[in-house]
Amino acid sequence: MTPWSVDAMRRCAAEVLAQLTEHIEVSRRGEGPVVRLRPAPELIEELDLERWLRQGGMDAGTLAAFLQRYLDGTTRLHHPHYLAHQVAVPHFASALADLVSGATNNGMSIFEMGPSPASVEIAVVDWMLGLVGWAPTGRGPSGVPAGRRAGGGVLTHGGNLANLTALLAARAACAPEAWAQGVGDELVLLAPATAHYATARAASILGLGARALRALPTDELDRLRPEGVADAIDHERSAGRRVMAVVANACATATGLYDPLDEVGAVCNEREVWFHVDGAHGASALTSVRERGLLAGVERADSLVWDAHKMLQTSTLCAAVLMRDGRRLRDAFELDANYVVDPGQTVGVDVIGHQVECTKGAIGFKLFLTLAFEGEQGMGQHLETLVDRARRFAELIAARPGFLVPCTPESNIVLFGLEDRGVDASALRLALLQRGDYYVTKADVSGRTWLRLTVMNPGSDEQVIAGLLGEIERLVAAGLPTTESGPSADE
Ligand SMILES: *Cc1c(COP(=O)(O)O)cnc(C)c1O
């Protein structure tokens, strides 16, 4: 058995590149459906997956034929009618970084396994910490400014893992005995009901149990009401419980609205309660001078989650968990991996002790390379474009007879519905999805199911929205089934 040849790699890569660039061009022109939902058994047969995986033997020619059909069954994020999930339309630089990382495979959790990617992670994390207003990790060339405490941060495979890591650090701060002893039933976690399910999941995974999650009061648009936070903390404490953390959204997944971080943060700081901000979607507004005010007060947080694969044009996955005080991240994990961590080494820090993952991909490179092409300013402008679109689309929808918009967008997420409450938004979404012409999601907010647009694509313009509304009007006029089904808006 001879190993695969670099020549084969060259020929196959050329095929892949030719097809991908064509795929993106066609998608950008809006040709064909944005999504084609077909049953898995049908696709498995059509792509001949079972034969390929048993027999092998693919070469550049058969790869080309296979890839064409494979791409046909992918959801086209580059299509201007892609208005669904909070997943970036990726920059080509990020895709190329994926290729470089795939080919070099530097599992960089220990520095020696990938000095370049490990250094990139430090630089990227320090860049993010700087935008939050926190001190750098001190692992980069500039060190930590005198009189300040080093910040902390690590990249993870997604926001869910990042939230778990942040709340693990909160648990270590509140109940340091928990790592060895497990948790008692006096630990509670306070969050608005609009918090992403990552928070509830973390409560269960961390051993608090779902019962420990207490809903903080919210307003009519499901935003956290800051006045209620102090009372909620005091109430738990007077009942003998320990408040592990208060969680706020920046922004909420369903609505795209930001919780009042400054006010909530002030209460938490005063009462010395861990303040966690889930900015998986919305922390990217920190790259825009115009929009960063939405996160005013974020520097009061103890931890912040920030996904690059949502609003920073990075391919999945690249998330960051950042901490104001770097020691908190170190304390989150008991260092039990001494077979790979050499405390005596001086060249670089092994991130393995600060993350859930053991081996980790060079995920920071995707964000780095995208920034290297677009720059911080370009990144901020991209976000502003998407937010401007969302606000304009909300105006257009609100002005259309028969349509309703419950709130002015703060981010790139637009909720809307029909005045006629008899129209089932879930059935409407499903009908759109099955036709494949427009890809949107739905969300339950203030007791009603709304249709939901996430504007990720600068190619989605006013004409696209006019077309979508026209299609909805036609579907409603033709009569919809009244089923409640289909995937929800939870990213
Ligand atoms: C998307 C999102 C998450 C989950 O992040 P993944 O990267 O999809 O794991 C968590 N919280 C919020 C607020 C989100 O928008």
The rounded Å distance from CA 278 to ligand 1 centre is: 8
Are the CB atoms for 120 and 362 separated by under 8 Å? Answer: yes
- Take atom 4 of ligand 1 and give the residue whose Cα is closest: 159
Which atom of ligand 1 is nearest the CA belonging to 198? 10
Dihedral-angle region of residue 50 (phi above 0 means left; psi in -120 to 50 means alpha; beta otherwise): alpha
Which residues are within 8 A (CB) of 178 and not within 5 positions of it... i.e. 6 or more apart? Answer: 171, 172, 187, 206, 207
Q: Are 201 and 160 in contact (CB under 8 A)?
A: yes
Query: ω into residue 415 within 30 of 0, thus cis?
Result: no
Peptide bond between residue 251 and the one before it cis (omega within 30 degrees of 0): yes
- In whole angstroms, what is the distance from residue 317 CA to residue 323 CA? 20
The token duo for 106 is 């530097």
Query: Are 192 and 218 a contacting pair, CB within 8 Å?
Result: yes
Sequence length of the chain is 491
Q: What angle do CA 336, 339, 343 make, to 5 degrees?
A: 80
Q: How many angstroms is it from 483 CA to the middle of ligand 1?
A: 27
Q: Which residue in 168, 142, 171 sits closest to 156, CA to CA? A: 168
Alpha-carbon distances of 424 from 41, 190, 418, rounded to whole Å: 30, 33, 9
User: Which ligand 1 atom sits closest to the C-alpha of 251?
Assistant: 13
CB 30 within 8 A of CB 81: yes
Query: How many angstroms separate the CA atoms of 442 and 426, rounded?
Result: 7
Ligand 1 center to 477 CA (angstroms): 36
* pLDDT score, position 424: 92
Instruction: Find the 443 Cα to ligand 1 centroid distance in Å.
Output: 15
CB of residue 253 inside a 6 A radius of ligand 1: yes
CB 278 within 8 A of CB 269: no
* CA distances to 124, 125, 152, 176, 376 from 130, in Å: 10, 9, 11, 28, 12
State how far the Cα of 109 lies from the Cα of 340, in Å rounded to an integer: 9
**Cα 398 from Cα 395, distance rounded (Å):** 5
Q: Whose CA is nearest to atom 12 of ligand 1?
A: 280
For residue 427, the CA-to-ligand 1 centroid distance in Å is 25
Position 352 scores a pLDDT of 87
Residue nearest atom 5 in ligand 1 by C-alpha distance: 159
Predicted local confidence at residue 335, as pLDDT:
53
Token pair belonging to 428: 């409407």
Q: What is the model's pLDDT at position 122?
A: 96
Q: Is 79 in the pocket of ligand 1 (CB under 6 A)?
A: no
- pLDDT of 146: 92
**How far is Cα 179 from Cα 430, in angstroms, rounded to an integer?**
45
pLDDT of residue 482: 54
How distant, in Å, are the alpha carbons of 430, 432, 437, 463, 473 from that of 402?
A: 20, 18, 21, 19, 9
The pLDDT profile of the chain, 491 residues, written as one tens digit per residue, is 788 999 999 999 999 999 999 999 999 999 999 999 999 999 999 999 999 999 999 999 999 999 999 999 999 999 999 999 999 999 999 999 999 999 999 988 889 999 999 999 999 999 999 999 999 999 999 889 999 999 999 999 999 999 999 999 999 999 999 999 999 999 999 999 999 999 999 999 999 999 999 999 999 999 999 999 999 999 999 999 999 999 999 999 999 999 999 999 999 999 999 999 999 999 999 999 999 999 999 999 999 999 999 999 999 999 999 999 999 998 998 755 444 455 555 567 788 889 989 899 999 999 999 999 999 999 999 999 999 999 999 999 999 999 999 999 999 999 999 999 889 999 999 999 999 999 999 999 988 999 999 999 999 999 999 999 999 999 999 987 654 444 444 45
Three-class secondary structure of residue 351 per DSSP = helix
Tokens 């909805």 appear where?
A: 472
- Name the residue of 307, 316, 357 whose CB sits within 8 Å of the most ligand 1 atoms, as the mutation to test its pocket: 307
At 337 the three-state DSSP class reads coil
Please give the backbone phi and psi of residue 327, each rounded to the nearest 5 degrees, phi first: -65, -30
Ligand 1 near 425 CB (within 6 A) = no
CA–CA distance, 301 with 186 (Å, rounded to integer):
23
Separation of CA 117 and ligand 1 centre (Å): 24
Containing H/E element for 216?
A: strand 213-216
Compute φ and ψ for 258, nearest 5 degrees.
-95, 135
Note the helical H segments in 56-186: 60-72, 92-104, 115-132, 159-174, 178-181
Q: Is there an atom of ligand 1 within 6 Å of 249 CB? A: yes
**Beta carbons of 246 and 198 less than 8 angstroms apart:** no
The partner residues of 452 in beta bridges, in order of sequence, read 415, 441
Beta strands in 15-59 (DSSP E): none
